[in-house]
Structure 1
């Protein structure tokens, strides 16, 4: 009887310790990701913030917003040129959007 209780206690402690480690690792990874996103958001200059605002408000009217890293800088150039006419944006606004996207790569 004592052997069963000791074995059950050992197995319970082993499972509890494994579960705690996984939760701690996930929490640490999530915290690190949140810190990186916060630093990236804080680092925007007023010009880049304007480009981000234009990107979010002009582009999201017609389609979902793509992550800047989904395409290379060379791939973004024709995409932005094509979308400029559809979104009715002038060259200054497109330069702001382009600078913002380039800063996110």
Structure 2
């Protein structure tokens, strides 16, 4: 039951992060859930490094949302750096 709770909370965190972060974001249900779970891990390890959480202690809900927003910001920065010459998915024209 613990893993099911993690997935549900991860999905909720991912949805909130996507709503708070402007711009186009990847994915559906699975990507949103993974984003929330990864955000919680980022918040946990940053919080431990800063002394907010002890070893074995999980990050809070708001910290998890902030971690997911950090991931979305990194995604936007990486995506902005990649140029797509073929935006519409057309096949290249042979001359």
TM-score, length basis structure 2? 0.27
Q: From the two aligned structures, give the one with the greater helix fraction.
A: 1
Q: Which has the higher contact order (CA 8 A, sep 6+)?
A: 1
TM-score, length basis structure 1? 0.25
Pair member with larger Rg: 1
